[in-house]
């Protein structure tokens, strides 16, 4: 029977979904303890949905995710997507940086086939662990024909999110992932998938960022988080470490102090590309209090996703107008 089922490639990178703890009632655990075989063994019902072709890309907590793993993951995912025998790709990932990896893949993969990232907020040994159902739902979403041509997706807590929109909003809740600007694009309940919206920003097959033309390291881009009484010291340290671009997590509508703004303007004149984002979780950055002639606004991308897009943009151009267009299109 298994040979007649569709094939889903499952790429494991680690995270809480592969974590294990000493006690079911304690919050402490270690990420990336279980390999892909152990994950699949814990969910035998997956074998009734699809033939699962599993591979271990890494086994790390996502706080240790980096460009090297990104490229390894993306290249292998692209190879599998190009294989006519594979219907879709599911990627297990830690939740801390899942939104960044999802957005990176959304910009560099070239396929209309479903790509779904999934994680867990509770390790496999916890009371009411969420990983098994999340993974079951992720495979179900990848098998659904309506999941095609939607870009990279994230499935968590019965919700389906666009990679561009999803963010982590709570440190421990299983309902941590939200899309505050747009909402989830669909839902999945014990494998039953429903869609309500279609992502409209450019992704995957429409993207100009070709994986074959990219190499590590990507251009260095730092994020500077602002606060009351902020001075330009950290910003200057970033420039001294040869950052090609800087994303400012400004207060409110991407605002900064007068002294900091002056330092930003001077850096822009020297060719450093500066993107204004916000430490606020939602909303579009506008030119309300700052003249953006020297800067780029992040649209409604949070600082960490703005960094991903700016890194890729800088592989193409340093032209501020062109990069601003990218932030409005992707």
Catalytic residues: 16
Q: Is 291 annotated in some ligand binding site?
A: no
Beta pairing partners, 234: none
Taking the C-alpha atoms of 311, 317, 323 and 326 in order, what is their torsion angle to the nearest 10 degrees?
A: -80
**Cα distances (Å, whole numbers) of residue 299 to 96, 112, 160:** 23, 25, 22
Residue 213's H or E segment, with its range, is none
- How far apart, in whole angstroms, are the C-alpha atoms of residue 66 and residue 58? 11
d(CA 40, CA 46) in angstroms, rounded, equals 8
Q: Is 175 annotated as a binding residue?
A: no
Tell me how many degrees the CA angle 317-320-321 measures, rounded to the nearest 5: 105
**Non-local CB neighbours of 66 within 8 Å, separated by 6+ positions:** none
SS (H, E, C) 302-324: CHHHHHHHHHHHCCCCCCHHHHH
Whether 95 has a binding-site annotation, put simply, is: yes
Which of 312-318's residues contact partners 24+ apart within 8 Å by CB, and which partners?
312/104, 312/107, 312/108, 312/209, 312/214, 312/218, 313/273, 314/218, 314/219, 314/221, 314/244, 314/245, 314/273, 315/209, 315/213, 315/214, 315/218, 315/219, 316/208, 316/209, 318/271, 318/273
Are the C-beta atoms of 124 and 19 separated by less than 8 Å? yes
Tokens of 249: 């997590």
Residue 194 DSSP SS3: strand
Give the annotated binding-site residues for substrate.
62, 95-96
């Amino acid at each position: 029977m298994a040979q007649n089922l569709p094939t889903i490639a499952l790429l494991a990178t680690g995270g809480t979904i592969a974590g294990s703890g000493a006690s079911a009632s304690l919050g402490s655990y270690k990420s990336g303890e279980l390999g892909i075989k152990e994950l699949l063994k814990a969910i035998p019902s997956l074998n009734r949905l699809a033939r699962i072709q599993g591979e271990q890309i890494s086994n790390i907590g996502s706080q240790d995710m980096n460009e090297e793993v990104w490229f390894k993951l993306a290249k292998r995912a692209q190879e599998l997507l190009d294989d006519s025998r594979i219907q879709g790709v599911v990627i297990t990932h830690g939740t801390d940086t899942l939104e960044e990896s999802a957005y990176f893949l959304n910009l560099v993969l070239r396929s209309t086939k479903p790509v779904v990232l999934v994680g867990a907020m509770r390790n496999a040994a916890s009371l009411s662990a969420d990983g098994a159902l999340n993974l079951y739902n992720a495979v179900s979403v990848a098998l659904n024909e309506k999941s095609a041509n939607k870009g990279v997706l994230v499935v968590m807590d019965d919700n389906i999110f666009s990679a561009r929109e999803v963010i982590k909003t709570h440190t421990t809740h299983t309902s941590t992932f939200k899309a505050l600007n747009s909402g989830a694009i669909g839902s999945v309940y014990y494998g039953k998938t429903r869609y309500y919206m279609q992502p409209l920003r450019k992704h995957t097959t429409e993207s100009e960022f070709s994986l074959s033309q990219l190499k590590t390291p990507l251009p260095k881009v730092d994020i500077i988080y602002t606060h009351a009484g902020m001075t330009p010291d950290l910003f200057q340290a970033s420039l001294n470490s040869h950052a090609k671009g800087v994303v400012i997590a400004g207060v409110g509508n991407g605002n900064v102090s007068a002294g900091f703004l002056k330092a930003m303007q001077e850096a822009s004149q020297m060719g450093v590309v500066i993107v204004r984002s916000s430490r606020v979780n939602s909303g579009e950055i506008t030119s309300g209090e700052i003249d953006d002639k020297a800067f780029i606004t992040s649209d409604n991308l949070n600082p960490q996703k703005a960094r991903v897009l700016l890194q890729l943009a800088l592989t193409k151009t340093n032209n501020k107008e062109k990069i601003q267009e990218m932030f409005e299109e992707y």
